[in-house]
Amino acid sequence: MIPLPLDELRGLGRIEGDAESVTGVQIDSRRVQQGELFVAVRSGVAYLDDARARGASATLVPEDDFAALAAIGRAARSRFEARVVAITGSVGKTSTKDILTALLRATGADVVAAEDGYNNEIGLPLTLCRVERETDVVVTEMGMRGLGQIRALAEIARPHIGLITSIAPVHLELLGSIENIARAKAELLEVAEIGIVPADEPLLASYGAHTFERHAPEIRDGHAIVDGVEFDFAARHQAQNAAAALAVLDTLGYERPRGIVEVTFSRWRSQETELPGGGLLINDAWNANPVAMRAALAHLRDCAAGRRTVAILGDMAELGAAAPRFHEEIARELGSVDVVIGVGELARGYAPEAWAATADEAVALARELVRPGDVVLVKGSRSVGLEIVAEALA
């Protein structure tokens, strides 16, 4: 972090510490390093002493958690000249962030990227606080739960480029219609200097943004080739995310890298692990919605190569009154899957061979039904917590 004077943070809450400036910001006392500011959000006030013992130069107990972090994020943003990319979308924003980060680093760029899914009022300011003077590009991610939230995040980050990866029926429970979802995501286009959207998304056509095409990739020797660039993954839905990332890379003016681009995806997103007997585990347990679920099932079929397939599928949350219908539609996609295990009340709609109420119960079912040599997909909404099933199998 470019040093941030504490005087700029007066009025945000109770500040303690003798330092004139801080060189980092943390909200988890276990991550605090010498010279950093510990912001005691939520229940963090209980860890003030721990933060000081680990080297915090100052501590802040904010009067308003989100307002304080927003102010810190704005202060950090005002200190650097690196170009900022903001990525949002109903599906694929974190994976697109991961792919873009890999592309930029392959060109030699100094990149700061959001960790995992740091995409809200807490995560975005923390990402901005990691930027150094030598940083070339900052890749941020923006999620939302309603109208106005993307705009608020964008006004903190002030992005040079705003990318929308997709519009899909996600958060219908909160926003009511696909048109409202598009409107909420498009708030980014109204703040960013340059907007980039899919060419085939009619709900974004009126914003005058640059567009990118999502052509079918070539899959060769376990690698996806997207518009001439080769990646070390073979998932077709990730190749579509790669098309979006390449559009940003081109707009930033970087040359496309030669050779195979190696991408490290954030945890629980299309992570593949070999299983006993030649099997494969696809851990995609971070979240789920109808579009992402179909893409994950297509990848399961692609990976099968004659092996038996098992899909361990949790509820798809936040779909509102139409949730049962969306689950029944996914059920019609499961005819080619050998074994389906549903987890959660809505997952009954998949018409699974076996069902569990919770992820804990699903662990025993998975251990019973998965055989050596199987290709296994684990996917569900965050609220289901299916990562413990994937971890048990791995």
Position 105 scores a pLDDT of: 98
CATH architecture of 4-64: 3-Layer(aba) Sandwich (3.40)
pLDDT of residue 94: 94
65 confidence band (pLDDT: 50, 70, 90): very high
Q: What are phi and psi of 200, to 5 degrees?
A: -100, 25
| Confidence (pLDDT) at 117 | 79
| Residue 144 tokens, joined | 């939302």
**Which of the listed CATH numbers 3.40.50.2300, 3.90.190.20, 2.30.31.20, 1.20.1560.10 matches domain 271-393?**
3.90.190.20
Q: For 305-344, what is each residue's pLDDT tens digit?
A: 999 999 999 999 999 999 999 999 999 999 999 999 999 9
Q: Give the model's confidence band at 270: pLDDT under 50 very low, under 70 low, under 90 confident, else very high.
A: confident
Residue 277 confidence class, pLDDT cut points 50, 70, 90: very high
Q: Which residues in 30-49 are b (16+ Cβ under 10 Å) and which e?
A: eebeebbbbbbbeebeebbe
Q: What is the pTM of this model?
A: 0.92
Instruction: Tell me how far apart the alpha carbons of residues 186 and 359 are, in angstroms, rounded to a whole number.
Output: 35
- Tokens at 7, concatenated: 């005087």
Residue 77 has pLDDT above 90, yes or no: yes
Instruction: State residue 25's pLDDT score.
Output: 98
Write out the DSSP string of 275-323: EGGGEEEEEETT---HHHHHHHHHHHHHHHTTS-EEEEEE---S-GGGH
Percent of the chain with pLDDT over 90: 95
Beta-carbon count within 10 A of 372 CB: 10
Q: Which two tokens stand for residue 234?
A: 């073979």
The SS3 assignment for 93 reads: helix
Please answer whether residues 86 and 157 qualify as being in contact, where contact means their C-beta atoms are separated by less than 8 angstroms: yes
Provide the residue type at 92 as one letter: G
Helix (H) or strand (E) holding 252: helix 236-252
DSSP state of 353: S
- Could you state, in order of their start, the residue ranges of all structural domains in the chain? 4-64, 80-261, 271-393
- Residue 20's pLDDT is 96
Q: Are 156 and 125 spatial neighbours (Cβ–Cβ below 8 Å)?
A: yes
Task: Name the CATH topology of 80-261.
Answer: UDP-N-acetylmuramoyl-L-alanine:D-glutamate ligase (3.40.1190)
350-367: pLDDT as tens digits: 999 999 999 999 999 999
Digit-coded pLDDT (tens) for 138-179: 999 999 989 999 999 999 999 999 999 999 988 788 899 999
Separation in Å, CA 280 to CA 196, 316, 342: 35, 23, 19
Residues 6 or more apart whose CB falls under 8 angstroms from that of 53 comprise: none
pLDDT value at residue 392: 97
Confidence band for 376, pLDDT divided at 50, 70 and 90 = very high
Provide φ and ψ at 171, rounded to 5°.
70, 25
Q: Is the dihedral of CA 31, 36, 39, 43 positive or negative?
A: positive
Q: What percent of the chain has pLDDT over 70?
A: 100
What sign does the dihedral 370-375-381-386 (CA atoms) show? positive
Task: Write the pLDDT tens digit of every residue in 215-260.
Answer: 889 999 999 999 999 999 999 999 999 999 999 999 999 999 999 9
Instruction: Provide the total of helices (H) and of strands (E) in the chain, helices listed first.
Output: 12, 22
Give residue 113's pLDDT.
Answer: 98
Q: Which residue has the tokens 């696909």?
A: 178
Q: Which helix (H) or strand (E) holds 140?
A: strand 137-141
Rg of the Cα trace of the chain? Answer: 22
Phi, psi of 193 (to 5 degrees): -65, -40
- Residues in CB range of 85: below 8 A, 6 or more apart: 100, 137, 138, 139, 140, 159, 160, 161, 162, 163, 248, 252
- The residue length of the chain stands at 394
Supply the pLDDT for residue 216.
87
- Nearest alpha-carbon partner for 224 in 52, 102, 104, 340: 102
Q: What pLDDT, on a 0 to 100 scale, did the predictor assign at position 336?
A: 93
pLDDT at 171: 78
